Amino acid sequence: MIGTATPAPARLSARLWLALLIFACFAALPVIAAVTDDPFLLLIGTRILAYAIAAMALDLILGYGAMVSFGHAAYLGFGAYAVAILNSVGVTDLVLHIAFAVTISAVFAAITGAISLRTRGVYFIMITLAFGQMAYFFFVSLSAFGGDDGTPLPARSTLFGSQALEDDRTLFYVALGLLIALFTLATRIVGSRFGRVLIGTRENPVRMEAIGLAPFRYQLTAFVISGCMTSIAGVILANQAEFVSPAFMNWHRSGELIVMVVLGGVGNLTGAIGGAVVALLLEDWLAVLTEHWRLLFGVFLIVMVLYSPHGITGALDRIARGRR
Amino acid sequence: MTNLFILQLLNGAQLGVLLFLIAAGLTLVFGIMDVINLAHGVLYMIGAYLIATFAGLTGSFWLGLLLMFPAALAVGLVIERLVIRPLYARSHLDQVLATFGLVMIVNEGVKIIWGPSPLSVPMPDLLSGSIALIGPLQYPVYRLAIIAAGLAVAAGLYVVINHTRIGMLLRAGATNRDMVSVLGVNIRRLYSLVFALGAVLACFAGAIVAPILSVDTGMGESVLILTFVVVVIGGIGSIRGAFLGALLVAIVDTLGKTFGPILLRFVMEPAAAGQTGRMLAPMLIYILMAAILFARPQGLFGPKPS
């Protein structure tokens, strides 16, 4: 369905260089923020890092497993609410927040994934969307945490008992560290035997069954891994905004995650990260330009889909190959 | 208690026929054209805005409704030509993205044209007021009229789909698209027709619900997701499935919201029952969907997966 061939090893390493370049730019951001004396730069940067993690996690199943999940924003919400819920009972440590977020997400992903994976194509898209909305409505009616309006967090998560994350720069570097760690993990997953089976399932599930591998188990495992990774992005987002609300899990958010993945280029983890950067910067830039930025963003989306189906990394590949 | 049950059942039926009007078009677009259209919800919204404008201009709900139809048809044809047609040969992912972009454009465009504040449409005099049903039970005439209109459209669709040549093509298209085009049917014209028909039905739903809702930009969104659930439950491409699915979803949703907390009171304290009921009620239809899919992944009336 998603017709990108497995990238050749040589190009994969080019993508790795691109990823390293993006990470280096991120690492330099606090310096730029200090020089230009712009405190918002770090907060924007942290937000971009969180979405980069989420987009990369989505690419893991969308790009490598051809599972178009339209409910991934739910996991952002689980991550964010994990912080709020544990804070309300006095548990403030970031590691515990992440562990809790990952646990809820694993359970939710395992149950909904097992049901959704019984179907394919359009059905899968619509069912994941419906489950995402189910989670959304659950938190909307959760009046203990502000319901529809959400609730502010009393403080950011603590890191091994210290308040270090209250400093925007520390939070930024923690987010960057998580992105790099998860990128490494995702690259390893994709390169492993598990990853090969997943890619094989994307290309031809019938053949995978014929050689004796049941696609369902591999797809479900990937789905759960992806959901857990996305929830870590949610933990970061909650800390960045110091606020949680069901708006994190609105279906528009799921759509935006897909936009990031496709914008960057499907099926190579670097693309999703780049796509998150470009999409969020474009949103911010258009929002400065006009209050009706969504109109322009919508036009941009349609034009992109109709004229550049392989995203940014696809365009880079074309340039690298000397065509166009 | 019985009165409350009948009232809620009628409310459920009213929501059900609205969902059916929207889902009918959506399921045909999925089933025949194999296009996933996230922008179907905004068509419903456009219908409401169109009648708000036309009813305001002409001073009459009925004239407004009459003018709404050609306008809705035009909107449907323009969207099909500009955005949907280039997507026929594309992957579902591309379709999701492009129609997601369309949702953003239309939502924002509506805000620019009609302003951000909600509009209201006056109820036609002929259908205002309530009538007595059984004993002391009163029900608004307009809501009964919506149910009647929805059932009439459903009957009309039944006749068209089962007893006309166009309907035969629609059924054939939902079963095997390629075969229909091989047999010499102008598939492109059939697609335009299907999309325009779906657009008019969705706009009609938006128009008739406008007098009892406030017309605003968010109205398409909540309905879109419900419609997806309906289409998935009913089975893609099946009008009959859409009809039964719509009524099922609407009645479960309406009754669950009212009677969920009441039933839970038998097993827990009233305060906790109210709280739990409010949390569980919105999830009921998704649980219903999951249960049906678990038994029949293709939906109630969907084609068997090959």
Express each pLDDT in A54-89 by its tens digit.
999 999 999 998 899 999 999 999 999 999 999 988
Spatial distance between the Cα atoms of B279 and A147, rounded to a whole number of angstroms: 10
pLDDT at A85: 92
Residues 269-298 of B with CB under 8 A from A: 275, 278-279, 281-283, 286, 289-290, 293-294, 297-298
Fold (topology level) of B14-295: ABC transporter involved in vitamin B12 uptake, BtuC (1.10.3470)
CA B271, B275, B278, B284 torsion: positive or negative?
negative
Q: Is residue A291 part of a domain?
A: no
CA A200, A203, A205, A206 torsion: positive or negative?
negative
* Domain carrying residue A38: 30-249
Q: Nearest CA to CA, how far is A71 from chain B (Å)?
A: 12
Q: Is residue A61 part of a domain?
A: yes
B147 and B14 Cβ atoms separated by less than 8 Å = yes
Q: Nearest CA to CA, how far is A55 from chain B (Å)?
A: 15
Chain A CB within 8 Å of residue B233 CB: no
Q: Shortest CA distance to A75 belongs to which of A42, A41, A44, A98?
A: A98
Spatial distance between the Cα atoms of B60 and B291, rounded to a whole number of angstroms: 46
Q: Is residue A320 part of a domain?
A: no
Give A8's pLDDT tier (boundaries 50, 70, 90).
very low
B96 and A258 in contact by Cβ < 8 A? yes
Give B30's pLDDT tier (boundaries 50, 70, 90).
confident
Q: Is residue A292 part of a domain?
A: no
B93 and A68 in contact by Cβ < 8 A? yes
Q: What is the CA radius of gyration of chain A?
A: 19
pLDDT at A3: 45
Residues 242-271 of A with CB under 8 A from B: 251, 255, 258-259, 262, 266
pLDDT at B305: 55
Residues 35-64 of B with CB under 8 A from A: 36, 38
B294 and A123 in contact by Cβ < 8 A? no
DSSP codes of every residue in A139-208? HHT-GGGTGGG-EE-SSPPBBTTB-GGGSHHHHHHHHHHHHHHHHHHHHHHHHSHHHHHHHHHHH-HHHH
Q: Is residue A53 part of a domain?
A: yes
The larger pLDDT score, comparing residue B34 to residue B49, is at B49
Q: Over pLDDT 90: what percentage of chain A?
A: 44
Quote the number of domains for chain A.
1
B229 and A1 in contact by Cβ < 8 A? no
The larger pLDDT score, comparing residue B128 to residue A22, is at A22
Chain A CB within 8 Å of residue B115 CB: no
Express each pLDDT in A110-167 by its tens digit.
999 998 998 877 888 888 988 998 899 888 888 788 888 888 888 888 888 788 788 8
Give A290's pLDDT tier (boundaries 50, 70, 90).
confident
pLDDT at A45: 92
Spatial distance between the Cα atoms of A166 and A34, rounded to a whole number of angstroms: 17
Q: Is residue A296 part of a domain?
A: no
Q: Is residue A224 part of a domain?
A: yes
Give B304's pLDDT tier (boundaries 50, 70, 90).
low
pLDDT at A309: 66
Q: Over pLDDT 70: what percentage of chain B?
A: 99
Q: Where are the domains of chain B?
A: 14-295
Nearest to A68 among B38, B92, B102 (CB): B92
pLDDT at B174 over 80: no
Tell me the count of A-B CB pairs closer than 8 A.
132
B218 and A148 Cβ atoms separated by less than 8 Å = no
Give A2's pLDDT tier (boundaries 50, 70, 90).
very low
Q: Nearest CA to CA, how far is A126 from chain B (Å)?
A: 6
pLDDT at A316 over 80: no
pLDDT at A1: 42
Q: Is residue A105 part of a domain?
A: yes
- Which run of H or of E encompasses A324? none
Nearest to A302 among B98, B229, B232 (CB): B98
* B108 neighbourhood in chain A, CB within 8 Å: 292, 294-295, 298
Report the complex ipTM: 0.84
Return the biggest CA–CA distance within chain B.
66
Contacts with A203 (C-beta within 8 Å, 6 or more apart), sequence order = none
- Among A166-170, A254-258, B27-31, which range has the highest average pLDDT? A254-258
Interface test with A, best of B29, B93, B103, B114 (most A CBs within 10 A): B93
Contacts with B172 (C-beta within 8 Å, 6 or more apart), sequence order = B179, B180
Q: Shortest CA distance to B64 belongs to which of B189, B208, B160, B169?
A: B208
B105 and A298 Cβ atoms separated by less than 8 Å = yes
B112 and A295 in contact by Cβ < 8 A? yes
What is chain A's mean pLDDT, rounded?
87
Hey, how many other C-beta atoms are within 10 angstroms of the C-beta on A188?
A: 11
Express each pLDDT in B176-230 by its tens digit.
778 888 888 888 888 898 899 999 999 999 999 998 888 888 888 888 888 989 9
Hey, how many other C-beta atoms are within 10 angstroms of the C-beta on B287?
A: 13
Q: Nearest CA to CA, how far is A185 from chain B (Å)?
A: 26
Tokens of B80: 């099909």
Residues 44-83 of A with CB under 8 A from B: 62, 68, 70
Express each pLDDT in A162-192 by its tens digit.
887 888 888 999 999 999 999 999 999 999 9
